[in-house]
Every structure is written in structure tokens, then in C-alpha cells.
Amino acid sequence: MSREERREKDKDLFETVEEVFDTRTVLNVVELMRRKVIKRLAGTISAGKESRIYLGYTYDDKPVAVKIYLTSSAEFKKGILKYIAGDPRFEGFSPRNTRELIYAWARKEFRNLTRMYEAGVRVPKPLGLYNNVLVMEFIGEDRHRYPLLVEAYEELEPEELEIVYNKILEEIEKIVCKARLVHGDLSEYNIMVTPDLDVVIIDVSQAVDVNHPNALDLLKRDLERIEEFFRDKIGLNNTRDSKEVLEGLMKCLEKRKGE
């Protein structure tokens, strides 16, 4: 790539994100481009208080999701400290400012994605990370992401919902028993449903190690939310009691501990 082409590419990037992110964040995206992780950004997929996700493309023109964490949200800072404090992977970590904390949060999501992906959990494949910019597999087609469960359920028949429900329980089991993590914020808002009724778990930055002091409470909450959504909101028959599911997961953890 010539110097002029690089300058033009960087100019386009700044015009894309400068209204939302500070210069340092934009330079972080540029660094991922220079490392050949991504080639360009092509528009916003979703936006929230904590981050924005952009559609990006690799140098072989494959679509990817580029998640950029906001580095100036004081409210966000308060919410994430409880997920880092007590995590054995961040023992001794003491951020000096909000930016360092957000960088650690992005690193945490990348590690969680990697751990889950390697354990066979259906999550977006992690592809790269630089400070507060995370690049991962794009879950969708034709530039459109697949719907979240909360968006898809009304279009599904009862037997299809039962398939989705059982697949979610299977993914939870893999997260806990194989990856030895707890999602910590699982709900209909961070589970994607594919056209063939597969499920993809997203937003795993808050996931904690099973040895985290709050892991059991977070796991109970995850299971209760899933049960309440399918049993109470949808009215699906044949849902399993969350306490019963929890007992099975605890037995699985005890069994693996002894291996």
C-alpha cells in the first residue's frame, strides 16, 4: 500500500468514527489495520452505552464485527468493577484510570471468547484485539447480523422454540463445564438465533471464572432468566426448573474437579 493510499484510508476511518471516539481510539483501529487484522470499516451494526459494533472487512474481504468500547463512561466503570474484582485472572490488577479499566475489560472479553471458543461453545470467533478495539467473527449474512432471541421468538413455532431452548441449555453446560466460566448476564438480549435454529452466545465481557466469589449467584441468575423468558414470557411447555439445571451443572463441575 502506498503512502497516499494509507493516508486516504486513515482519513476515511477518522470520518467514520471521529464523532463518537477520541483520537486515541481511532488510532487503535488504525493500528489493527496496519497489523492486517482488518482492512476497513463499513458502518454501524449496533450501538449502546458501553460500546459500538461496526461491520468491518478483512484483507481478503471477509466480514467481521469490530467492537469498540467507550473509554469515557463513568457509569460503565461502576458496573464492571464487580466482575473484575475477585477474578483470579486479574489478581493484583489496579487500574490508574478509566481508560486502563476499559482496556482490561476488552482484554477480558477477548480471553473469555477465546476460552469459550476453544471449549466448543458457539460464540463469535475472536480474531484480534488492540486496547479497546476487539475484532471477531461476524454472525450474519449480507451485511446484516442474525436476530437476537428477543427479536426472533415471535416468528418461531413452539417446536422451534423448544429446539432453541434446549440448545441454549447445551451451550450453558459447555460454558460452565468445559470452559469453566459463567456468562454472568445471559438473557434473550445476548443470544443470537441463526436461520437453522442454531444459537450463538454474545457479549461475554462480564463472564467470570467458576472460582469467582460471585460465580454461583451469577449462574443462578442466568438460569432463572432463561427459564423465566421461555416459561413465563413465551409460555413454552417442557422447560426445566432452573434449580434442577443448576444441580446438574454443579455435579459436572465436581466431576471435572476430580479428573
Which of 21, 87, 32, 97 has the alpha carbon at shortest distance from 65?
A: 32
CATH superfamily label, 145-257: Transferase(Phosphotransferase) domain 1 (1.10.510.10)
Neighbours of 214 (CB within 10 A): 16
- Segment holding 21, helix H or strand E: none
Please tell me the predicted confidence (pLDDT) of residue 143.
87
CA distance 126 to 36: 15
List residues bridging with 65 in a β-sheet: 55, 136
Per DSSP, the three-state class of 153 is helix
Mention the CATH class of domain 3-137.
alpha beta
CA distance 84 to 15: 34
For CATH 3.30.200.20, the residue range(s) in the chain are 3-137
CA distance 209 to 2: 46
Low-confidence ranges of the chain (pLDDT < 70): 1-20, 72-79, 81-82, 91-95, 256-259
Give yes or no for a contact between 175 and 201, defined as CB atoms under 8 angstroms apart: yes
- Catalytic status, residue 185: yes
Please tell me the predicted confidence (pLDDT) of residue 6.
53
Per DSSP, the three-state class of 90 is helix
H runs (alpha helix) in the chain: 3-17, 23-34, 74-84, 98-118, 149-152, 158-173, 215-227, 242-257
pTM for the structure as a whole = 0.87
**Given 10, 22, 185, 209, the catalytic residue:** 185
Reading the block at residue 96, the C-alpha cell is 490508574
**Given 203, 209, 217, 241, the catalytic residue:** 203
Please tell me the predicted confidence (pLDDT) of residue 100.
83
Please tell me the predicted confidence (pLDDT) of residue 19.
53
- Catalytic status, residue 203: yes
Give yes or no for a contact between 188 and 229, defined as CB atoms under 8 angstroms apart: yes
Please tell me the predicted confidence (pLDDT) of residue 11.
53
For CATH 1.10.510.10, the residue range(s) in the chain are 145-257
Give yes or no for a contact between 154 and 161, defined as CB atoms under 8 angstroms apart: no
Three-point CA angle 247, 250, 252, nearest 5°: 110
Instruction: Determine the straight-line distance between the first and last CA of the chain, rounded to whole angstroms.
Output: 52
Q: Which amino acid is at 12?
A: D
Q: For residue 21, what are the CA distances in angstroms to 44, 92, 203, 231?
A: 13, 29, 20, 41
